[in-house]
């Protein structure tokens, strides 16, 4: 089965991408994932000055099922990449040369400064990456420097900064949305107005993973203290699915969607595609299962397509969107269905069961 899909003019060997984060943190892991069968990857977010990025340990926290200990939620307070930009530029060139058919997307982030954003865009573009993802969505740490979700939470900033990037790009640009906002359509439409080709959604949801009842310290605890961090993994999937469907119904036809949030297997990935995503990204799932999980993704999608008679991945994108409606319409449909059922129940051979006058009244509208 051919699992390829062309999105914004880029041919993806399959719709499965590593999401920006630890799975795409250097050339070695990117190469390993392409060897394993991933169609593409969004590399870990980079900026011009890595020396400003200092991570803490520990920086992850898990929420486990009370029933069997399975990880259902994951919090991180990790920052963007702490590796120097020169190293990244070299690695982007190298990875693109070694894996020309896999799609490499650079995730970039900078401070509120036009020159810096445009410089970063230009030097990364020169390495031959296939596209950009603008990180307007990291919800912690970077926000103290007015970066990440500080921009994605304010549609006017999203539009302005996106415009700086699209002014100098020749390759497709996606903007990655934060879910920590009331109406995700607003920053997404702002990015569209400024010329993006696609929207990636969602980044992590602000969270506190728990409190240690021995020490009374909230987690993850660093030297006794914490900050709220980004929540990911399977618990966020329903929220991500809702946001992706809202975007798919609102965005212009030509704006692509890359669906992200809690995907762990082919079933989850297909749900995102049916709700409008042309590609899907997986971050925490890869951290917990390893890059080999792509084998099940490919097998599951292939089986689904042949079972359901889909001839291309493109055909299933957005297939379930027509089944969203309004609550008022659901009520109307339900009433109609009931009337229909009533009609079915009122077949002629029932006449003898009831008094003829009663039956006549039942079928009379006035
Ligand atoms: C440890 C960790 C680090 C992350 N770093 C980044 C990042 O650098 N840039 C970014 O855009 N998203 C980052 N993310 C967010 C993910 O790409 C993704 O949007 C989110 O985790 C939801 O998807 P998932 O449930 O598949 O992880 C990170 C997530 C995790 C768990």
Q: What is the whole-number distance in angstroms between the Cα of residue 68 and the centre of ligand 1?
A: 25
Model pLDDT, residue 249: 98
DSSP per-residue codes, 245-261: HHHHHHS-TT-EEEEES
How far does the centroid of ligand 1 lie from the alpha carbon of residue 353, in Å?
65
- Report the alpha-carbon distance of residue 88 to residue 71 in Å, rounded: 32
Answer yes or no: is pLDDT of 344 > 80: no
Ligand 1 atom with the smallest distance to the CA of 237 is 25
The finding on whether 80 has its CB within 6 A of some atom of ligand 1 is: yes
Whether 107 lines ligand 1, by a CB cut-off of 6 Å, is yes
pLDDT averaged over the chain?
Answer: 95
Query: Helical H runs in the chain?
Result: 27-36, 85-98, 114-125, 149-152, 155-168, 185-193, 237-250, 266-274, 284-289, 294-308, 313-316, 327-345, 356-362
Decide whether any atom of ligand 1 lies within 6 Å of the 149 Cβ: no
pLDDT of residue 360: 86
CA of 20 to the centre of ligand 1 (A): 5
Q: How far is the CA of 333 from the centre of ligand 1 (A)?
A: 40
The whole-number pLDDT of residue 213 equals 98
Q: What is the pLDDT of residues 213-222, one digit of tens each?
A: 999 999 999 9
Give residue-wise pLDDT tens across range 166-182. Answer: 999 999 999 999 999 99
pLDDT by residue (tens digit) across 78-107?
999 999 999 999 999 999 999 999 999 999
Distance 228 CA to ligand 1 centre (A): 15
Task: Name which of 124, 240, 131 is nearest 175 in CA terms.
Answer: 131
Q: What is the pLDDT of residues 288-315, one digit of tens each?
A: 999 999 999 999 999 999 999 999 999 9
For the Cβ of 76 lying below 6 angstroms from any atom of ligand 1, the answer is yes
* Nearest CA residue ID for atom 31, ligand 1: 284
> Is residue 140's pLDDT more than 90?
no
Q: Are 186 and 243 in contact (CB under 8 A)?
A: no
Residue 139 beta carbon below 6 angstroms from any ligand 1 atom: no
Kindly state if the Cβ of 285 falls inside 6 Å of ligand 1: yes
Atom of ligand 1 nearest to the CA of 135: 11
Mean pLDDT value across residues 228-242:
98
**Cβ-contact 267, 13 below 8 angstroms:** no
């Amino acid at each position: 089965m051919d699992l390829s899909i062309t999105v914004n003019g880029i041919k993806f060997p399959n719709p499965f991408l590593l999401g920006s984060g630890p799975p795409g943190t250097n050339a070695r892991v990117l190469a390993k994932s392409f060897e394993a069968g991933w169609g593409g990857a969004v590399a870990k977010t980079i900026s011009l000055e890595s020396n400003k990025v200092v991570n803490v340990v520990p920086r992850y926290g898990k929420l486990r099922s009370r029933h069997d200990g399975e990880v259902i939620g994951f919090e991180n307070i990790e920052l963007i990449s702490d590796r120097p930009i020169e190293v990244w530029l070299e690695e982007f060139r190298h990875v693109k040369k070694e894996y020309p058919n896999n799609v490499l997307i650079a995730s970039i982030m900078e401070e509120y400064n036009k020159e810096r954003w445009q410089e970063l865009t230009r030097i990364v573009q020169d390495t031959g990456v296939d596209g950009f993802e603008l990180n307007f969505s990291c919800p912690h740490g970077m926000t103290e420097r007015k970066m990440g979700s500080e921009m994605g939470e304010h549609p006017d900033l999203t539009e302005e900064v996106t415009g700086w990037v699209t002014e100098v790009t020749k390759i497709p640009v996606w903007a990655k949305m934060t879910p920590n906002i009331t109406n995700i359509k607003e920053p997404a439409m702002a990015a569209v107005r400024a010329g993006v080709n696609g929207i990636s959604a969602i980044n992590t949801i602000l969270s506190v993973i728990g409190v240690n009842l021995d020490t009374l310290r909230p987690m993850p605890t660093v030297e006794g203290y914490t900050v709220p961090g980004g929540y990911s993994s399977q618990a966020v999937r329903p929220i991500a699915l809702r946001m992706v469907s809202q975007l798919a119904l609102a965005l212009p036809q030509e704006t692509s969607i890359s669906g992200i949030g809690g995907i762990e297997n082919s079933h989850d990935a297909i749900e995102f595609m049916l709700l409008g995503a042309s590609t899907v990204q997986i971050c925490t799932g890869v951290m917990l299962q390893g890059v080999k999980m792509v084998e099940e993704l490919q097998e599951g999608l292939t089986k689904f397509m042949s079972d359901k008679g889909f001839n291309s991945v493109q055909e299933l994108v957005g297939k379930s969107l027509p089944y969203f409606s309004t609550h008022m319409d659901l009520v109307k449909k339900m009433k109609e269905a009931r009337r229909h059922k009533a009609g079915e129940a009122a077949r002629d051979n029932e006449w003898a069961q009831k008094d003829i006058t009663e039956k006549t009244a039942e079928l009379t509208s006035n």
